[in-house]
C-alpha cells in the first residue's frame, strides 16, 4: 500500500529543490557575482593598495567612507524606479537598462582606478572609487528590483540563496584574486582584470528577460496623492507642478504606501528590520582582531574563515532558500534569529579556550551556516514586503535600514573589548539578537492570527 502522506511530502521537497533549476534563479548567481565584485575594490582591497603605496592610515580611514554610499542608496532609488534612460530603456526595458548603465559605470571607474597612481593622483583615484561605489550601489538597486519583480514570493528564498553565493564568489575575486594579481603583476593589472570580470554582469543583463512592472510609464500620475496635488495646485506653472507631482509619486507614495498597507504594525516591521542584523554585524567587526589576538596564524584564518567559511555560508544560503520554499519565510526567520544569537555564544566559548584549529572550524561552521540561512530568509522577507509599484525605492529603504543601526553600533565594538574582554563582548553581541527574536515571534504570531481570521 502506497503511503500517500510520504509521497506528497517527497513531492513537495522535490518541488522545493526544483526551484534551483529555474533560469531566473540561476541568473541570480551571475548577477550576484557582478554585485559582489566592486565592494572590496573600493574598500578592503583599495586599503591594501593605498597602504602599500605609503598612504598614512588616517587618510586610508577617511577614504574608506567611500563605501558608506551603499548605505544611502535609498536617496536615489526613486530615480532608478521611475526615470527611464533615453533610447536604452525602450530597447532593453527599464530594469535592465539601469543595470547596464550601472555596470558600465563600474567598468569605467575601475579602469580609471587602474590608471591612477596613489602617489601623484590620489584625488583622481578617490574620485574614481566614488564613481565605482555609486555605480555599484545603483546596480544593487536595479538587481534587487529585478529579482523581486521577476519571481513569485515563494521563489525569493532561492533567488536570495544563489545571489548570496554569486556575491561571495565576486568578493573572493575582488579580495584574494586582486591581491594575487597585484603580487605577481601590478595593481594596474589587478584592477583592469576586475573591470573585465564585470562583463559577467553585462552578458547576464542581455540574457535575462525584462519583468512586468506595476506603476510603469505614466501610471504614477494616476495615484491618488498625485491627482489630488495636481487638482489643488492647478494655478502653479506647469513645469513646477510636473516636478512636484513626480516627487510625490516617486518619493512620497512609496513611503506612505508601506504604512497604508501595514497599518500600526508598520513601525514594528521597521524596528525588526533595523535590529535583525545587530548581532552578527556587531560581532563581525571584531572577528579578525579576535582570531589574531587568540594566536591563530594568518594562514589558519584564511583557510578556515575565508575558504571553509565561504563554503559553509553557501551551504547555509542554499539550505535557507530551500527551507523558505518548504516552510515559509517567517518560521525560518525565527529559526535563523535563534541560531545567529546562539552561534555568537560559541565565540564566547572559543575565547576561553586554547587556540585549537578544530575549535575554530566548529565555531566557523556554526556561525557561517546560520549566517547563510539568515541571509536567504531575510532577503526573501524584505522582498515580500515591497509593493511592486515601488520595488526599487522600498527595497533600497529596507536594506539601508538593515545596515545603518548595525554599522553604527558596531563602531563601538573595540571599546567594549578593551573594557571587558572578548568573552563579555561575544555574550553582549548574542544578547543583541534578543530584540530580533522577540519581534519576529510577535510578527509570526500576528501572521497566524490573520490567517486564522481569513479562514473563518
Q: Do the domains spanning 22-211 and 257-456 agree at the CATH topology level? A: yes
Cα–chain-centroid distance for residue 302?
23
Whether the per-residue pLDDT at 258 is higher than 90: the answer is no
Q: What class is the 22-211 domain?
A: mainly alpha
Buried b (16+ CB within 10 A) or exposed e, 118-135: beeebeebbbbbbbbbbb
Question: Bigger pLDDT: 300 or 86?
Answer: 86
Q: What pLDDT score was predicted for residue 224?
A: 66
Query: What's the pLDDT band for 206 if we cut at 50, 70, 90?
Result: very high
Phi-psi region at 276: left, alpha or beta (left = phi > 0; alpha = psi -120 to 50): alpha
Fold of domain 257-456: Growth Hormone; Chain: A; (1.20.1250)
Which of 249, 255, 189 minimizes the C-alpha distance to 220? 249
pLDDT tens, position by position, 29-81: 999 999 999 988 987 778 778 878 888 866 776 777 787 788 788 888 888 88
The length of the chain, given as a count of residues: 456
Alpha-helical (H) ranges within 83-177 are: 88-92, 94-114, 122-150, 156-172
Distance between CA 76 and CA 135 in Å, rounded? 11
Distance between CA 392 and CA 78 in Å, rounded? 7
Distance between CA 350 and CA 353 in Å, rounded? 5
pLDDT tens, position by position, 332-366: 999 999 999 999 999 999 999 998 999 999 999 99
Query: What's the pLDDT band for 203 if we cut at 50, 70, 90?
Result: very high
Whether the per-residue pLDDT at 27 is higher than 60: the answer is yes
Q: Which three cell numbers stand for residue 229?
A: 496635488
* CB neighbourhood size of 337 (10 A): 27
Whether the per-residue pLDDT at 5 is higher than 70: the answer is no
Break the chain into its structural domains and give their ranges: 22-211, 219-252, 257-456
Amino acid at each position: 500500500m502506497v503511503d500517500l502522506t510520504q509521497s506528497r511530502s517527497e513531492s513537495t521537497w522535490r518541488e522545493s529543490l526544483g526551484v534551483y533549476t529555474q533560469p531566473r534563479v540561476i541568473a541570480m548567481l551571475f548577477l550576484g557575482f557582478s554585485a559582489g565584485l566592486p565592494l572590496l575594490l573600493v574598500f578592503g582591497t583599495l586599503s591594501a593598495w593605498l597602504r602599500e603605496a605609503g598612504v598614512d592610515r588616517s587618510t586610508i580611514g577617511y577614504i574608506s567612507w567611500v563605501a558608506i554610499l551603499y548605505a544611502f542608496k535609498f536617496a536615489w532609488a526613486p530615480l532608478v524606479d521611475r526615470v527611464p534612460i533615453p533610447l536604452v530603456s525602450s530597447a532593453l526595458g527599464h530594469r535592465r537598462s539601469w543595470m547596464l548603465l550601472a555596470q558600465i559605470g563600474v567598468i569605467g571607474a575601475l579602469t580609471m582606478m587602474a590608471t591612477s597612481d596613489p602617489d601623484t593622483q590620489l584625488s583622481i583615484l578617490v574620485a574614481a572609487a566614488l564613481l565605482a561605489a555609486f555605480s555599484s550601489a545603483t546596480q544593487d538597486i536595479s538587481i534587487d528590483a529585478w529579482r523581486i519583480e521577476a519571481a513569485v514570493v515563494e521563489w525569493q528564498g532561492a533567488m536570495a540563496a544563489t545571489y548570496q553565493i554569486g556575491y561571495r564568489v565576486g568578493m573572493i575575486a575582488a579580495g584574494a584574486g586582486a591581491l594575487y594579481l597585484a603580487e605577481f603583476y601590478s595593481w594596474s593589472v589587478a584592477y583592469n582584470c576586475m573591470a573585465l570580470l564585470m562583463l559577467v554582469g553585462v552578458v547576464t543583463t542581455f540574457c535575462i528577460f525584462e519583468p512586468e512592472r506595476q506603476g510603469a510609464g505614466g501610471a504614477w500620475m494616476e495615484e491618488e496623492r498625485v491627482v489630488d496635488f495636481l487638482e489643488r495646485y492647478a494655478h502653479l506653472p506647469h513645469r513646477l507642478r510636473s516636478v512636484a507631482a513626480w516627487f510625490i509619486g516617486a518619493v512620497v507614495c512609496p513611503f506612505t504606501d508601506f504604512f497604508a498597507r501595514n497599518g500600526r504594525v508598520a513601525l514594528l516591521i521597521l524596528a525588526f528590520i533595523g535590529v535583525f542584523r545587530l548581532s552578527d554585524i556587531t560581532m563581525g567587526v571584531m572577528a579578525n582582531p579576535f582570531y589574531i589576538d587568540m594566536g591563530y596564524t594568518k594562514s589558519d584564518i584564511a583557510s578556515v574563515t575565508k575558504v571553509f567559511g565561504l563554503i559553509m555560508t553557501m551551504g547555509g544560503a542554499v539550505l535557507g532558500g530551500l527551507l523558505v520554499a518548504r516552510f515559509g519565510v517567517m518560521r525560518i526567520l525565527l529559526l535563523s534569529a535563534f541560531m545567529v544569537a546562539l552561534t555568537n555564544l560559541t565565540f564566547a566559548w572559543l575565547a576561553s579556550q586554547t587556540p585549537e584549529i578544530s575549535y575554530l572550524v566548529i565555531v566557523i561552521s556554526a556561525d557561517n551556516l546560520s549566517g547563510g540561512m539568515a541571509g536567504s530568509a531575510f532577503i526573501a522577507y524584505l522582498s515580500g514586503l515591497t509593493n511592486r509599484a515601488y520595488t526599487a525605492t522600498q527595497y533600497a529603504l529596507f536594506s539601508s535600514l538593515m545596515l545603518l543601526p548595525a554599522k553604527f553600533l558596531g563602531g563601538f565594538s573595540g571599546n567594549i573589548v578593551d573594557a571587558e574582554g572578548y568573552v563579555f563582548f561575544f555574550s553582549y553581541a548574542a544578547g543583541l539578537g534578543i530584540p530580533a527574536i522577540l519581534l519576529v515571534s510577535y510578527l509570526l504570531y500576528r501572521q497566524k492570527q490573520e490567517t486564522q481570521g481569513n479562514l473563518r
